[in-house]
């Protein structure tokens, strides 16, 4: 990515021009129906790496607003855990503590990979406890993740004061993909490997959902990237709904995949 594109990505919503670089944005089709069909409010943001260009559907400037990251924070949590050595690798097992939780898949032993795939809160909460708040804060500051605020109830990414915007999510994903975060190459490659969701001859889809029900309204996420035809498309979808009984992470992914199909990035379901 050239320097101009990188500057405009970081400063997506800044009206300032830097060295003549403006943040290009392709006028987006009206994606409102994807959100209306699910009775949620939300926004979609995509960055096309080859074109250094954004496609955005951001009612009320939502893409620049910060929201609780929920389980999308696991992408950073996993890297900090590997880098600090509180877990050896993606295969190390942490035994289940025997506490029955509402999601059956959580009630068993897990490793970094299976806990990411099943979004196991207790596993990543245990990693955060092993890391400890001081080291966690150090790495969050080093990365520049969202508002950098890990205060509040535990786990802070689900119930505390940490907040991040869609634009910041995309910049974080870009740095992860390009291995430009302050972690070892092996750490970043491991996390990229465990967030791979689909792989076909035509494309690779990587990402993570999130759902926070401790805030009002509930917040849902799906963030990630698609590798296709030697290009990378980074995306972040954020939604909210009051009192949803269905996972907003799941809804966010369904909305995202519908939009990506309309854009010709993913196949039509």
For each of the domains in the chain, give its residue range(s) and CATH number, in order of start. 66-198 (3.40.710.10)
Is the CA virtual torsion 211, 88, 104, 257 positive or negative?
positive
Which pLDDT does position 177 carry in this prediction?
Answer: 99
Banded pLDDT at 28 (limits 50, 70, 90): low
Active site members? 71
Q: Does residue 18 have a pLDDT over 70? A: no
* pLDDT reported for residue 11: 46
Q: What is the pLDDT of residues 164-218, one digit of tens each?
A: 999 999 999 999 999 999 999 999 999 999 999 999 999 999 999 999 999 999 9
Rounded to whole angstroms, the Cα distance separating 252 from 256 reads 6
What are the helix and strand counts (H, E) for the chain? 10, 7
Contacts of 160 (CB under 8 A, 6+ apart): 68, 149, 150, 151, 152, 153, 154
Q: Whose structure tokens read 């972690």?
A: 183
Query: What's the number of CA atoms in the CB half-sphere (13 Å) around residue 153?
Result: 6
What share of the chain in percent tops pLDDT 90? 86
The mean pLDDT of the chain is 92
Query: What is the chain's length?
Result: 269
pLDDT at 15: 33
The Cα angle at residue 234 between residues 229 and 237, in degrees rounded to 5 = 135
Report residue 244's pLDDT band, with 50, 70 and 90 as the boundaries.
confident
Instruction: Provide CB contacts within 8 A for 28, sequence distance 6+.
Output: 44, 55, 56, 57
* Packing angle of the helix pair 185-194, 74-84 (nearest 10 deg): 140
Place of tokens 């996993």: 78
Judged against a pLDDT cut of 50, whether residue 10 lies above it is answered with no
pTM exceeds 0.85 for this model: yes
């Amino acid at each position: 990515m050239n320097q101009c594109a990188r500057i405009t990505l970081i400063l997506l919503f800044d009206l300032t021009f830097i060295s003549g670089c403006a943040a290009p944005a392709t006028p987006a089709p009206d994606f409102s129906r994807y959100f209306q069909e699910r009775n949620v409010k939300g926004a979609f943001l995509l960055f096309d790496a080859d074109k250094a260009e954004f496609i955005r559907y951001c009612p009320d400037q939502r893409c620049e607003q910060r929201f609780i990251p929920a389980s999308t924070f696991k992408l950073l949590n996993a890297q900090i855990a590997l880098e600090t050595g509180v877990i050896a690798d993606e295969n190390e097992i942490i035994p289940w503590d025997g506490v029955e939780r509402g999601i059956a898949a959580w009630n068993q032993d897990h490793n970094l990979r299976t806990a990411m795939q099943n979004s196991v809160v207790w596993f990543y909460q245990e990693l955060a406890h092993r890391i400890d708040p001081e080291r966690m804060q150090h790495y969050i500051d080093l990365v520049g993740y969202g508002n950098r605020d890990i205060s509040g109830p535990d786990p802070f990414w689900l119930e505390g004061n940490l907040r991040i915007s869609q634009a910041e999510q995309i910049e974080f994903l870009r740095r992860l993909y390009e291995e430009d975060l302050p972690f070892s190459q092996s750490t970043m490659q491991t996390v990229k490997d465990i967030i791979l969701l689909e792989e076909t001859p035509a494309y690779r889809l990587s990402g993570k959902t999130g759902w926070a029900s401790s805030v009002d309204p509930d917040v849902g996420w799906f963030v990630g990237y698609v590798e296709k035809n030697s290009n990378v498309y980074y995306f972040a979808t954020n939604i909210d709904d009051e009192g949803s009984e269905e996972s907003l992470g799941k809804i966010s992914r369904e909305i995202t995949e519908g939009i990506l199909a309309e854009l010709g990035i993913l196949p039509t379901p």
